[in-house]
Structure 1
Amino acid sequence: GTAEISGFDLRLHESRRRTLEHSVGDLFPGAGAMRDATFWCGLRPMTPDGPPLIGRTELSNLYLNTGHGTLGWTMACGSGKVLADIISSRVPDIDVRDLAQERYFR
C-alpha cells in the first residue's frame, strides 16, 4: 500500500494504482490478474506528535488504542497487550505515561 497526508480525501489517484500494480507485478510475477484487482483507500488515524494514544479516558468504560498511523499492524499486538494490562489493572511492561491523552494537557 501507500500512505500520504491528504486529509479526508479518499480518492485513489491513478499514479498510486499504477505504482501498486508495478510493485505487485515485480514481487509476485504471475500471482494473479491485476485487471481483476479491487483497489480502495482508507484512513490511518495519527496523532500530531507520533506515538499512539493508549489508555483510560475520563469515562470509566472507555479506553483508547488509536493513532498508530502507518504502524497499526506493526504495533497491534504490543498495543493490545498494554491496553489489556491497563483494563485488568495490571502494570504494563512499558511506561505508558507518554501514551496517555493527558500528554497533550501537561
Structure 2
Amino acid sequence: MTPKFRPQMLVYDDRFTINYFVNSIGSCIAQERIEINGKFRAIACGEGALVKQKIYYISSNSHYNTLCNIDKQIIEAVKTSIRQLETKSLGWWCIVMVKEASGV
C-alpha cells in the first residue's frame, strides 16, 4: 500500500489591536496586543475509504517569530498521518462520561 498525502487545510490569522483604558481623572493606558494563529491539517489516504489525519496548531500572543522554522513540525504532522494508516483498528469502544466524575 502506497499512502497518498494531501494537505487538506492551511489556515493563518493574525490580528493587532490596541486597547485604551481611560478613567475619569485623566489616566490613559494603551495596551498593544498581537495574536497569531495557524492550523495545518495533513490527510493520508490509504486503500478504499481509509483516511487518517493529523492537525498541527500554532499560536502566539507575543511575536511573529513563532511562525519561523515550523517546517519540521509540519513534516512530522504529515509523517504521523501516514503512520496512522499502518495502525490496526481495535474495534469500537464505548465511553460513558459521568458529569460528576468529570468535574462538571
TM-score by length of 1: 0.26
Q: Greater helix percent: which structure?
A: 1
Q: Which has the higher Rg, Structure 1 or Structure 2?
A: 2
Higher relative contact order (CA 8 A, sep 6+): 2
Q: Greater strand percent: which structure?
A: 2
